[in-house]
């Protein structure tokens, strides 16, 4: 059995960087939500400041992928693994941006009190956090079943998004003074929902990696 050390090591590095990005995104979402629930603007500003680190890893993945394609001429599954990694990195980078958007919402709420205790938004975020870690695990394990599970989880997130949005709309009708904050919280719900869409995209990339076919899970 001939091995391809250089290529295999490159693929392993890509995978390690993706795992690292996944961890960062998961943590960013968790901390952004905490800063919102606690209305802790300082914490939120720290999260915003950390985003460039995630972008740098995405650039590294992009460069490593290009280098492997140029120097190792990967084909078939090796090629799909690199293409999937590039796509996943771009999804994770967008997820990081959305976590930052949540932190920015917390900053804009600085000095206010919340119009209602946040219950469903953290529930959505918890679901989505699990999706992030499971989507990355599906890549590492090349686990198609877990990748398809993203679609189901995404439906749940969408349902919760609908509930949150209707609640906030009702509050706006009752209390026009809350419109500003309600709008902001609706945006946050939307950001979380978008993160779930990106996790679902990761599931699609994993199905492509394993089967060569591109499903539509969203």
Q: What are 18's two structure tokens? A: 């993706």
Q: Is 2 in the site for another protein (CB under 8 A)?
A: yes
Query: In angstroms, what is the minimal distance from the CB of 98 to another protein?
Result: 31
**3-state SS of 59-108?**
HHHHHHHHHHHHHHCCCHHHHHHHHHHHHHHHHHHHHHHHHHHHHHHHHH
List, in sequence order, the alpha helices (H) in the chain: 5-37, 41-72, 76-108, 120-141, 144-174, 179-211
Q: Which of 26, 31, 58, 78 binds another protein (CB under 8 A)?
A: 78
Query: In angstroms, what is the minimal distance from the CB of 15 to another protein?
Result: 17
Alpha-carbon Rg for the chain in angstroms? 19
87 Cα distance to chain centroid: 12
CB of 127 within 8 A of CB of 153?
Answer: yes
Q: Is 66 in the site for another protein (CB under 8 A)?
A: no
Q: Is 10 in the site for another protein (CB under 8 A)?
A: no
CB of 149 within 8 A of CB of 165?
Answer: no
Phi, psi of 149 (to 5 degrees): -60, -25
Nearer to another protein, 113 or 213 (CB): 213
Nearer to another protein, 82 or 121 (CB): 82
Nearer to another protein, 98 or 209 (CB): 209
Q: Which of 77, 87, 94, 123 binds another protein (CB under 8 A)?
A: 77
Binding mask 150-169 for another protein (x = CB under 8 A): --------------------
Token pair 């609640």 is found at 167
Nearer to another protein, 80 or 190 (CB): 80
Nearer to another protein, 139 or 161 (CB): 139
Q: Is 70 in the site for another protein (CB under 8 A)?
A: no
Residues that bind another protein (CB under 8 A): 1-4, 7, 73-80, 211-213
């Amino acid at each position: 059995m001939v091995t391809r050390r250089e290529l295999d090591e490159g693929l392993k590095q890509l995978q390690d960087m993706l795992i690292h990005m996944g961890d960062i995104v998961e943590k960013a979402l968790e901390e952004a939500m905490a800063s919102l629930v606690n209305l802790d603007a300082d914490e939120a500003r720290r999260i915003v400041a950390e985003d460039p680190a995630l972008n740098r890893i995405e650039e590294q993945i992009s460069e490593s992928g290009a280098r492997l394609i140029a120097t190792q001429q990967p084909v078939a599954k090796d090629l799909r693994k690199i293409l999937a990694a590039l796509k996943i990195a771009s999804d994770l980078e967008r997820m990081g941006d959305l976590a930052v958007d949540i932190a920015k919402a917390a900053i804009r709420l600085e000095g206010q009190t919340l119009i209602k205790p946040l219950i469903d938004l953290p529930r959505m975020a918890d679901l989505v956090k699990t999706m992030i870690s499971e989507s990355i695990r599906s890549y590492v394990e090349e686990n198609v079943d877990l990748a398809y599970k993203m679609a189901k989880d995404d439906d749940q997130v969408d349902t919760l998004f609908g509930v949150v949005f209707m609640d906030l709309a009702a509050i706006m009708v009752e209390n026009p003074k809350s419109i500003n904050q309600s709008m902001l919280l609706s945006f946050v719900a939307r950001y979380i929902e978008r993160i779930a869409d990106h996790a679902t995209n990761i599931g699609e990339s994993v199905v492509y990696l394993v089967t060569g076919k591109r499903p539509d899970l969203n």
